[in-house]
Amino acid sequence: MTSLIDVIFLLLLFFMLTSTFSKYSEVELMNAASGNGHENKQMLFVSLGEDSLMLNAQNVDMSLIAGLVEAQPNDGSGHLVLINLGEETSSQRLVDLLTSLRVVKDLQTMILS
Residue 88 forms part of a structural domain: yes
Residue 36 has pLDDT above 60, yes or no: no
Q: Which domain holds residue 79?
A: 26-112
User: Which pTM does this prediction carry?
Assistant: 0.67
In a domain, 20, yes or no: no
Confidence of residue 33 (pLDDT cuts 50, 70, 90): low
Above pLDDT 90, what percent of the chain?
40
Q: How many domains does the chain have?
A: 1
Contacts 24+ apart (CB under 8 A), 59-67: 62/96, 62/97, 62/100, 63/100, 65/97, 65/100, 65/101, 66/100, 66/101, 66/103, 66/104
